[in-house]
Chains A and B, each alone.
Chain A
Amino acid sequence: MKNTKIETIKQINLTIDGIQVSVDEGTTILNAARQLNIHIPTLCFHEDLCVAGNCRVCIVEQEKVKSLPASCATPAAEGMVIHTNSMKVRLARKHIVELLLSEHNADCTKCYKNGICELQGLASQMLTGDHMFLDLVPDHKYSIDMFNTAIIKDDSRCIRCQRCVRTCEELQGVSALGVAYRGNHMKISTFYEHPLFEVVCTNCGQCVNRCPTGALIERNYIDQVWDAIYDPTKHVVVQTAPAVRIALGEALGMPPGKIVTGKMVTALKRLGFDSVLDTDFTADLTIIEEGNELLTRLKKALLDKDPNVSLPMATSCSPGWIKFIEHTFPELLGNLSTCKSPQQMFGALVKTYYCQKRKLDAKNVVSVSIMPCTAKKFEANRPEMRSSGYKDVDFVLTTRELGIMIKQAGLDFEELPEEHFDSLMGSSTGAAVIFGTTGGVMEAAIRTVYEVVTGREIPFEGLNITPVRGTEGEVREASLKIEKVKPEWSFLEGVELKCVVANGLAHAKKVMQDVKDGKANYHFIEIMACPGGCLGGGGQPIPTNKEIRTKRKEAIYEEDMGMSIRKSHENPEVQLIYKEFLGHPLGHKSHELLHTHYTPRKRY
């Protein structure tokens, strides 16, 4: 079958830089050149996004054609003769990069993206620097949107490639960013140029991850964290999210897909954190709370026939998703689990349980989290996230920011020995690790819920519930028949638990629209705001693309398989905290510290 399929794709023969190549019909000149390991520079092109063809950096010369076509946007045609580095191309390309630089605020040494900026890379490749054209920056009234706790937008560094616009629209279905005005005034803007925090922006940071320059960056809290570390009166606790440990290596020069948990722990200890703990711990806790919440809702719906119970229940771990639903489907907020995200649960417990056990005064404890996410920065600053009387999480750093701190400290990351997380809120299970990938929360929840209800392990080999393992760019539906339940769960006997998993907000939108229209009969919905889940988060190392996300995903499942405990309810420290502090799931203390509420927001 496969062979016949390959045969039906027409092959196109063309010549690039004197080398003949045969490619599938529809392949662009750019990708054809890549097959020959010829690297045509690009800027507006991104593997995850539709082709824009607007920066024109990737132009090439095509024989017998007067103009220079953009290789990213031009499909290879039979008999084409292409030159990627001809005299004509070199001059035109240099002009284009010079033009971009002339409207770009190029004070690189003051820029957060210094050293990893794609425009800077091109400039050095082209040996620009002779100020070929006039500096246009002083003529523009550029503005910087610094009002947001998560993302800073600096128009003076923007090169209008529209990667952010395409990301926001195509991947996320949010369209907080769009193009405004025309010609010399053309800019990337929001609804009526409102600051980002006032519009539908979910802070997911996918735009930040794709911005080739420093125009969109995360608000960094590196100096604040160093200050806390150096302050002798402060006890600084750090937690690390599941998806950080499989991507941090990339920020420090390692190839994608490396599991660096142990090195990361060592690095954090060497940076001077007083206690290095694991968000996985509260991921497991989330499963217990959320699983019980689901069972409670199911009971109310199926046994008590309560018409007011909100089903399906949707996960609430992804803060980009939370802000999205607050804006887009405010009428469905009741369907969200009331559980805080693992980060916030962790923060709340640091300021209470941890302080109590360690005999610390919460006012002297600084809680830091390392997240693959920019939305977590916004989440940590939500007013409702201080139920202990203190801010649950004081500072949120992205994977990238941690990478910078490790470099600042002069650590040779790859050579670091591997250490274990500190104890008390440092233990983890495989179920928690897979929170970092799409479908992971669902799988972890099912591993626990099924066992709670039936007393048996889930009937999947190696506990791997592959039907719910989400795939990028698709909404995954699965169902699980619950049979031979324990007597107290008899109302679930024979019930087919219907689940759906979606990643990327554009897909979330579809799922929720179905729910809103009454077209879906799910029980449980898992949504992750970012493509691929947290492993593809906006705070992850740049670049992030499908190939890299796939490698990170493999690493996450590898980490899961390598854990001795793979079910949340078996996490010994989780069992301990219920015994010592929380009492029981959904109990009074849980409600106070681990659950939250949501705010309907405007739709623009």
Chain B
Amino acid sequence: MSDTKLKRVDLIFGEYSNVKYKVLTDTIKRSNDEILEDLLESGLRGRGGAGFPTAMKWKFTAQAPGEEKFVVCNADEGEPGTFKDREILSRVPRKVFSGMAICGKVIGAKRGYIYLRGEYKFLLPELNKELEGYHESAKAIGLDFSIEIRLGSGAYICGEESALFESMEGNRGEPRNKPPYPTTYGYLGKPTVINNVETFVNVMMIMRLGPIQFKLLGTTDSRGSKVFSVSGDTPIPGIYELELGMPLDRFVDEFGDGDTKAVQVGGASGFCVPRKKFKDTVIGFEGVPTGGSMMLFNSSRSMFNVLHNYLEFFEEESCGQCTPCRVGCQQLRKGIVAVKKGDKKFLYLDQLMKLSESMKLTAKCGLGQSVANSFSSIVYNFKEEMIY
């Protein structure tokens, strides 16, 4: 029985330790190399979606020349269908602060920032109160690392790390050219570690449990657990912490309503998996990665409408600076409408598929590059819905 069930995990939202900031207190007594070794051993990869090995990111930043360095927690949770960071920050903020502080110690930063999504402003009083406690504890254990919260203003693009820095610096939120990467040139041009909220919590849990324990969960490529935001046509929407590397069909068995036609894994910038591929799809970095969003669609849904909605979102939320993203998104959305209306032959979809591929290759940042994910996976798998 148990192997048909998904492995529910309770790491992230689990109880705090009895002593405030115990893990942090213990961890800062260890050497930076030990901490990094544990992180590397744990196989932790970033939880924002891209999955860059966290230990490497920290190591590069620690090695980067420069006196002043920063830790930034990306809490600009804007991906449609994702709402797990909100939950983490409201339920276990101390774990986030601890993860950031550990990072600060490892890379040699004295200041950390949480870039909080504008729409999450309501979390601010509670978080600031909690931060007071953190600062007291940090002082008590002799840790020179302060954390400040910065509010976004509602732009999806500011979740892109370099646009986030621009926004924090008071500029228009536009992605920068890369290289240089944040590890050498981040906030204010200084070496910066920027990680997702969940990543910092994971770091903290690895420090508490040790890498061996952490590694027991997940697969070779996707270690540990992940907090999923489950939404759409499901009787039990909500936030679930599950082991990584699960097959999608089991997920659908558990969360679907019995009529699941497709699952959008990773939000608007993620991939759409149709029913026939559920069995062969693994949720994790070796299969379909996700920042946490799992949207289920049953057969009553029009995939054309779903895609149109996503494209409309990208069309609005593109910063507009680079050509492939600014114009490409408009062309894709208007293009599928033209095909649907019969203004363009259905072969035009092939043209649009090629265009989305070009966008993936040439856009300046992750936003424009990932439009092709949902576009090509929906158009490819639900072509008849696009045409008729």
Please name all residues of chain B whose beta carbon is closer than 8 Å to the beta carbon of A56 when the two chains form the complex. 322-324, 362-364
Most chain A Cβ neighbours within 10 Å, of B322, B338, B351: B322
CB of A176 within 8 Å of the partner chain = no
Q: Please give me the 7 A-B residue pairs with the lowest Cβ-Cβ distance, nearest first.
A: A186-B320, A99-B327, A73-B177, A183-B318, A95-B358, A54-B321, A92-B358
In the complex the two chains form, is B155's CB within 8 Å of A182's CB? yes
Question: Closest residue of chain A to B172, judged by CB?
Answer: A179
A181 to B315, CA, bound (A): 12
Contacting residues, chain A, for B335 (C-beta < 8 A): 133-134
Besides A53-B322, A70-B364, A96-B358, 13 new A-B residue pairs in contact (Cβ under 8 A), listed by A number: A51-B177, A53-B177, A56-B324, A56-B364, A68-B362, A88-B361, A95-B324, A99-B324, A100-B327, A134-B338, A183-B314, A184-B315, A184-B326
B369 touches A102 (CB 8 A): no
Asked whether A182 lies within 8 Å of B369 as measured between CB atoms, the reply is: no
Q: What is the CA–CA distance of A179 and B323 in the complex, to the nearest angstrom?
A: 15
Task: Give the CA-CA distance A75 to B178 in the complex, in Å.
Answer: 10
**A134: contacting residue among B177, B179, B321, B331, CB under 8 A:** B331
- B310 to nearest A CB, angstroms? 13
- Cα separation A99 to B354 with both chains bound (whole Å): 13
Q: Is the interface of A mostly helix, strand, loop or mixed?
A: loop
* Given A88-B361, A95-B354; A184-B331 close (CB under 8 Å): no
Q: How far is the CB of A199 from chain B (nearest CB, A)?
A: 18
Contacts of B363 in A (CB 8 A): 56
Q: Do A133 and B355 have beta carbons less than 8 Å apart?
A: yes
With A102-B331, A183-B326 known to touch, is A68 a contact of B320 (CB < 8 Å)? no
The distance from the CB of A367 to the nearest CB of chain B, in whole angstroms, is: 44
Which residue on A lies nearest to B157, using beta carbons?
A: A182
- A54 touching B318 in the complex, CB below 8 Å, given contacts A70-B177, A96-B358, A134-B338: no
- Bound-state CA distance A110–B189 (Å) is 45
Task: Kindly state whether residue B360 has any CB partner on chain A within 8 Å.
Answer: yes
Binding site for A on B (CB under 8 A): 155, 157, 172, 174, 177, 179, 314-324, 326-331, 334-335, 338, 344, 351, 354-355, 358, 360-364, 369
Q: How far is the CA of A132 from the CA of B355 in the complex (A)?
A: 10
Report the bound CA distance from A159 to B363 in whole Å. 16
Interface size on A (CB < 8 Å)?
A: 39
Asked if A513 is at the interface of the complex by the 8 Å CB criterion, the answer is no
| A36-74 at interface with B (beta carbon < 8 Å) | 51-57, 59, 66-68, 70, 73-74
* Interface contact A67-B322, CB-CB below 8 Å: no
A67 to B365, CA, bound (A): 11
CA distance A186 to B330 in the complex (A): 12
Answer yes or no: A162 CB below 8 A from chain B CBs: yes
A133 close to B362 (CB less than 8 A): no
Q: Which of A51, A139, A160 has the most CB of B within 10 A?
A: A160
Give Cα A181–Cα B174 distance, bound, in whole angstroms. 12
CB of A416 within 8 Å of the partner chain: no
Contact A183 B319 (CB under 8 A): yes
Q: Which of B155, B324, B338, B344 has the most CB of A within 10 A?
A: B324
The closest CB in chain A to the CB of B338 belongs to A134
Q: Given known contacts A96-B358, A132-B351, is B327 in contact with A183 (CB within 8 Å)?
A: no
Q: Are A186 and B321 in contact (CB under 8 A)?
A: yes
| Distance, CA A186 to CA B334, complexed state (A) | 17
Min distance, Cβ B52 to any Cβ of chain A, angstroms = 15
Contact A136 B364 (CB under 8 A): no
Name the residue of chain B whose CB is nearest to the CB of A92: B358
Q: Which residues of A contact B318 (CB under 8 A)?
A: 182-184, 186
In Å, the complex CA distance between A334 and B263 comes to 71
Please tell me if the beta carbons of B327 and A185 are within 8 angstroms of each other in the complex: no
Task: Please pick, from B179, B320, B324, the residue contacting A75 in the complex, using a CB distance under 8 A.
Answer: B179
Check if A218 is an interface residue, CB within 8 A of chain B: no
Measured between C-beta atoms, what is the minimum distance from A223 to chain B in Å?
35
Q: What residues of A have a CB within 8 angstroms of the CB of B331 in the complex?
A: 99, 102, 133-134, 136
Contact yes or no, A55 B361, CB < 8 A: no
Cβ-neighbour of B327 out of A53, A59, A103, A182 (below 8 A): A103
Residues A100 and B323 in contact in the complex (CB < 8 Å), given A95-B355, A133-B331, A134-B334: yes
* Residue A563 CB within 8 A of the other chain: no
Expressed in whole angstroms, the Cα–Cα distance for A54 and B321 within the complex equals 6
| Residue A254 lies at the interface, judged by CB distance under 8 Å to chain B | no
Task: Provide the bound-state CA to CA distance between A102 and B326, in Å.
Answer: 12
Task: List 23 A-B residue pairs with CB atoms under 8 Å apart, sorted by A's residue number.
Answer: A51-B177, A53-B322, A55-B322, A55-B323, A56-B363, A68-B361, A70-B362, A103-B326, A132-B351, A133-B331, A133-B351, A133-B355, A134-B335, A139-B334, A159-B323, A160-B320, A160-B326, A182-B155, A183-B316, A183-B319, A184-B315, A184-B326, A186-B320
Is A91 an interface residue, CB under 8 A from the partner? Answer: yes
Q: Which of A96, A132, A183 contacts B362 (CB 8 A)?
A: A96
Query: CA A179 – CA B328 in complex, angstroms?
Result: 19
